[in-house]
Amino acid sequence: MDAQHCKMNGDPFQESMYIEESSNKSGVISLIFSLKEEVGALAKVLRTFEEKGINLTHIESRPSRLNKDEYEFFINLEGKNVPALDKIIKSLRNDIGATVHELSRTKKKDTVPWFPRSIQELDRFANQILSYGAELDADHPGFKDPVYRARRKEFADIAYNYRHGQPIPRVTYTEEEKKTWGTVFRELKSLYPTHACYEHNHVFPLLEKYCGYREDNIPQLEDISKFLQTCTGFRLRPVAGLLSSRDFLAGLAFRVFHSTQYIRHASKPMYTPEPDICHELLGHVPLFADPSFAQFSQEIGLASLGAPDDFIEKLATVYWFTVEFGLCKEGDSLKAYGAGLLSSFGELQYCLSSEPEIQPLVLEKTAVQKYPVTEFQPVYYVAESFKDAKEKLRKFAQTIPRPFSVRYNPYTQRIEVLDNAKQLKNLADTINSKELQICYLEFLKTWIRSSNGKADFVWLHLML
C-alpha cells in the first residue's frame, strides 16, 4: 500500500527498492552474495576477505527479495587479487553457506544508491554491522573473557530483534558494569565544567534530573530517547556494533541515532576500541538535546542520502572532525563538543593543550583530511558556532552531484525527494519561506546542471 501510494504521487525512487550505482572502473570485480540473517554472518565473510588479503572498495546491502530471512550484499573488490578469488568464492559457498554471483555492471544514467524513504525502513539495515557486535577481535580487552563475550551476545540479541516503534528493552546492568560506568562518569564529569562546551554543560544537569545520570546508575536508552524527543525530536535505537558510514548517516537524516547498550571491558575502564554506552550517553546524547546541534547533525544525514561513495567518505570525515572530535569557540576560549573528546578523559585534556594543531572549520579542507582512529588526533577543527557549521554544511552539500534535493517531513517521518516543480509548489503551503527558499535554490542548481545550463527562464519567472 505504501509503495503504491508513492508510485501514484510520481515518486521515481520508490519503484525500485534497490537502485544501484556502479563505477565500471577497470580492475574492479563485483560480487553479489546472500546470507541468512544471523549474528556474526557478515563478520565471517569480511574476515575471509581480510585473511586472503583482498581489499573491499565498496559494500551495499538489502533485504533479499527471494528469501525473507536472508540479506543480499553487493561488493566491489580490487582486481589485483584475482588469483585468490576462486578460493574466496569456494569458501563462501562451502564453509559459510552463502549464495555467490560474480557479475560485471554497466553504469546506468541518473541512478543513485538506495536510501531509506521512511523511518521504518531503517529496520532494513540496522543489523548490518561491519565489526564487533557479539564477536570481538583478538586485541579487544574482552576477547579472552567468556563471561563478557556471552554478555555482549545478550546486547547484540536486543539490537537484532528491535524494530522501529517498539520501546527499547531495559537492561539490568551488573555491579561490575555499573562500577566501570561509575569510574568513567566520575572522571569525565570533573572535566566538563572547564573543558566541555556550554551546550553540553547546560544539558547535563537535566539528564541527571530526568534520565538517571548518576555515578552508580547506567541510564536506560528508552528514558533518554523519550527525553531527546521532547527536546529536539531526536531518538535512539539500539545497535549491535558499527554500521557502514552510509547507513549510519542515513539514520541521522531521520533524527535517529544508532546507540550501543553494552559497556567496555572492566579491565580497562578508561579505554575502548569501539563505541560503547559511555561514549554514546556521555559524549553524544547531551548535544542531541540542543536544537542547533541537532539540526547540524540532521543536515549531515540528509546530505548523505543518495550521495556517491566518494562524497559519503567526505561526509563521514566531516562527521569525524565535528560530531566526534569537534572544537568550538566560546568567547576567547576553545571548548570541546565532539563526542569522542567528551567521552575520553585523556583526549579531552589533550585537545585543549598546546600540543595538537588547531585549524578553522573549512569543510572543503576538512572533508579530505586524513585521521588516525587508534590514537589522539594530531589536528582539530574549530567551528565558530553550530549555526555557522550548519550553514557551511548546507553549502558543501550543494556540491554533491545528485539530481534532486531532499527534505525531512517530521509529520510523516518520511524523506521527500524534490525533483520537479510541482513538488516544490506543493511545499509552499507547508514550510516557512526561508526553508522553501533553501529547498528551491538547491533544486534550481541541480536542475540547471542536469539541463546543461539551458534553463527555461519563463518557467523560472512563473515559479518565482
What is the rounded CA–CA span in Å between residue 99 and residue 300? 35
Active-site hit among 135, 259, 284, 347: 284
Q: What is the pLDDT of residues 348-401, one digit of tens each?
A: 999 999 999 999 999 999 999 999 988 999 999 999 999 889 888 988 888 888
What is the rounded CA–CA span in Å between residue 253 and residue 227? 19
pLDDT at 134: 61
Active site residue 34: no
pLDDT at 49: 81
Active-site hit among 135, 324, 416, 442: 324
pLDDT at 445: 52
Active site residue 343: yes
Task: State whether residue 164 is helix, strand or coil.
Answer: coil
Strand partners, 103: 30
Per-residue DSSP letter, 218: P
Q: Count of H helices and E strands in the chain?
A: 20, 12
pLDDT mean across residues, the chain: 81
Asked if residue 84 lies in contact with residue 53, where contact means CB atoms within 8 angstroms, the answer is yes
Characterize the bridge pairing of strands 327-330 and 379-383.
parallel
Asked if residue 42 lies in contact with residue 130, where contact means CB atoms within 8 angstroms, the answer is yes
Tell me the three cell numbers of residue 231: 527536546
Active-site hit among 343, 347, 405, 416: 343
H/E stretch holding 328: strand 327-330
Asked if residue 178 lies in contact with residue 217, where contact means CB atoms within 8 angstroms, the answer is yes
**Which positions ≥6 away from 219 have C-beta within 8 Å?**
207, 211, 212, 213, 281
Active-site hit among 222, 279, 304, 416: 279
Active site residue 164: no
Q: What does pLDDT average to in each consecutive run of 10 residues of the chain (464 residues)?
A: 37 34 52 78 82 79 71 74 70 74 47 88 85 70 86 92 95 97 97 97 97 97 97 95 91 96 91 90 97 94 92 94 95 95 95 96 94 92 92 86 86 84 52 50 51 40 35
Angle between helices 291-304 and 309-319 (to 10 degrees): 160
Task: State whether residue 455 is helix, strand or coil.
Answer: coil
The number of residues in the chain equals 464
Active site residue 195: no
DSSP alpha helix (H) spans, 344-400: 345-350, 363-366, 386-397
The whole-model pTM stands at 0.71
